[in-house]
Structure 1
Amino acid sequence: MPARPVSAIWKNKISILTESFDLWWDDFKKHIPQDGCDIFFRADDIGYPGRQFSAMIEAFKEHQTPLALAVVPAWFNEDRKNSLLTELGPDLNLWCMHQHGYRHMNHEQQGKKFEFGPSRDAATVSGELSRGRNKLEKLLGNQFSPLFTPPWNRCSANTMKSLVELNFTAISRSTNVSPEPPRNLPDIPVNIDLHTIKEISPEKGTEKLQELLIGAVESGQAGFMLHHQRMNKTAQIFLHYLLDKIKNTHTLRVKDIRDML
């Protein structure tokens, strides 16, 4: 997989970032509802284990924090499965391995990117979803969870109808996206983007992340989206810092995405 660009926020010195968040955290806690806020973490674009992936996994292991791993079926094979399980083990309970599209390929000629968007017919969509699920179930066995994360956090109504027919139990997209999912397909959205923030300066990137954190906790549910391919050393160190901050803030409740149904 080619290298992904690193957001400007991670071009800060780590000392500047942590000092900024230390000063800001007490004010941030005032935005958390009195009855607390549920938090979960989801990492996308899983399929190629490597150094950046290992660094991300090490952080979640060290802090004993559950992580949903969105696996791209077309990127996955027996060798990569073995590497992945070795990296995650021996205790696999922290990880919710689920389906992330099929090939992670954009099929729209205009507008926003979709793998499963409005231009694709229902039979093709259903076929790819089914093949992807069957492949992951064969490779992962009982470690596969029947949740679905669409690439770019969006998909068509036909896609969600197919997910129900294929017995998926939930979908995870971005917050406030359309169309609405069927009543029997719960949506567990992310609303904090850790690694693809588009602000062009480190300072603006920091402000944006803090803005996203406040908005998320005020809603009562905070879902973090991670992309390990976009993590440099600063982002890796900050992830340890953030997981520790959250763990030591009693009004923030870290959840396994599977328990949020």
Structure 2
Amino acid sequence: MTPQIEPDWSRLEEEFEVWKQEGRVLPLWWRDDDAIAPTTELETLSLLSEKMGLPVHLAIIPKFAQQTLADTLDDTFIPVVHGWSHENHAPSGEKKMEFGEHRALETLLNDANTGLERLQNLFGGKVQPMFVPPWNRISPAITQNLASLGYHAISTFTPRKHALAARNLSQVNTHLDLIDWRGGRSLVAPQILVDQLTCDLQDRRFGKTDATEPYGILTHHLVHDPSIWWFTETLVERLLAGPGHPWHFTHAHAAP
């Protein structure tokens, strides 16, 4: 499905050309959230990932992860830890958080630790020790303790301020969320996404943001409609034809 209004890609293509002339490369990665079981949507995601040649870092909710997911997950996916239960503990009226200051630190650390252990038991060595807090929000006190639990990285949203979120803990964020969560949960207007990506690349080129941080595309396969699938494929295809080079997290990319 193609949206009714095709976006104007010209400014982005011009930015790609500048990157080419300057010999710049964009490390590109893909994170998809909220997996718990095999679904037709997950199969579609796998096929698209294989077609694009870009692996998906699949943020799996540990408490509800099913054995059938572990039994069927193919090599296009890199399992990472998506909190514990994806449950909101913030008071009414505040932004949703599972790992905020609304619960005891000991409880939060236990949940983060149990989440990693459960996915390791299910997926073995496939799991990468990256913590993805639900709703991309987390208390600094938790962040400071993640490395002690065996995590090597944390991933939230928006350009990182520093390469390390804490001692021995890398920060690798996502930057472009394709879903209009407040306006119908379909695709954000394509032109808005294209313009945002163009500005993001310019910010990197001008030194306003960290040009070494892998640029992250964020998706949620369970709520994708045809327009989101279409734009995901179109965008990734254009990025990889331009300055984008596939990137994936491994222990080798972890903080020293």
| Structure number with higher relative contact order (C-alpha < 8 Å, ≥ 6 residues apart) | 1
One-letter code aligned to 2:217: F
CA contact (8 A) 2:178 2:188 kept: no
Determine if the alignment matches structure 1 residue 239 to structure 2 residue 232. Answer: yes
State which of 41, 48, 60 in structure 1 corresponds to 2:37: 48
Counterparts of 1:29-178 in structure 2, within 5 Å, are 29-30=16-17, 32=19, 34=22, 35-83=24-72, 85=73, 88=74, 92=75, 94-109=76-91, 110-175=93-158
Distance in 1 separating the partners of 2:58 and 2:110: 22
1:257 alignment partner, SS class: coil
Distance in 1 separating the partners of 2:154 and 2:220: 18
Q: CA deviation at 1:32?
A: 4.3
Distance in 2 separating the partners of 1:183 and 1:222: 22
1:190 alignment partner, SS class: coil
1:177 to 1:151, Cα distance in 2 relative to 1, 3 A: farther
Q: CA deviation at 1:199?
A: 5.5
1:202 to 1:256, Cα distance in 2 relative to 1, 3 A: closer
TM-score, with length taken from structure 2: 0.83
Distance in 1 separating the partners of 2:188 and 2:127: 38
CA contact (8 A) 1:31 1:214 kept: no
Q: CA deviation at 1:236?
A: 1.6
TM-score, with length taken from structure 1: 0.81
Identity across aligned pairs (percent)?
Answer: 22
Q: Name the counterpart of 1:188.
A: 172
CA contact (8 A) 2:157 2:173 kept: yes
Counterparts of 1:18-33 in structure 2, within 5 Å, are 19-23=6-10, 25-30=12-17, 32=19
Q: Which runs of 5+ in 1 are unaligned?
A: 1-12
1:32 to 1:108, Cα distance in 2 relative to 1, 3 A: farther
Q: Can you list the C-alpha shifts for 1:149-173, whole angstroms capped at 9, x where unaligned? A: 0001110012112311102000001
One-letter code aligned to 2:80: H
2:81 alignment partner, SS class: strand
Q: Can you list the C-alpha shifts for 1:197-245, whole angstroms capped at 9, x where unaligned? A: 5467999722321232123323234211111122112222332222222
Q: Name the counterpart of 2:207.
A: none
One-letter code aligned to 1:236: W
Q: Name the counterpart of 1:225.
A: 218
Q: CA deviation at 1:57?
A: 1.5
One-letter code aligned to 1:243: V
Distance in 1 separating the partners of 2:17 and 2:185: 27
Distance in 1 separating the partners of 2:58 and 2:104: 28
Q: Can you list the C-alpha shifts for 1:73-101, whole angstroms capped at 9, x where unaligned? A: 01212223223x2xx2xxx2x42211000
1:119 to 1:242, Cα distance in 2 relative to 1, 3 A: same
CA contact (8 A) 2:180 2:188 kept: no
Q: Name the counterpart of 1:3.
A: none
Distance in 2 separating the partners of 1:128 and 1:202: 31
Name the structure where helix makes up a greater proportion of residues. Answer: 1
Q: Which runs of 5+ in 2 are unaligned?
A: 205-210
CA contact (8 A) 1:216 1:222 kept: no
* Matched positions, count: 240
1:95 to 1:65, Cα distance in 2 relative to 1, 3 A: same
One-letter code aligned to 1:95: F
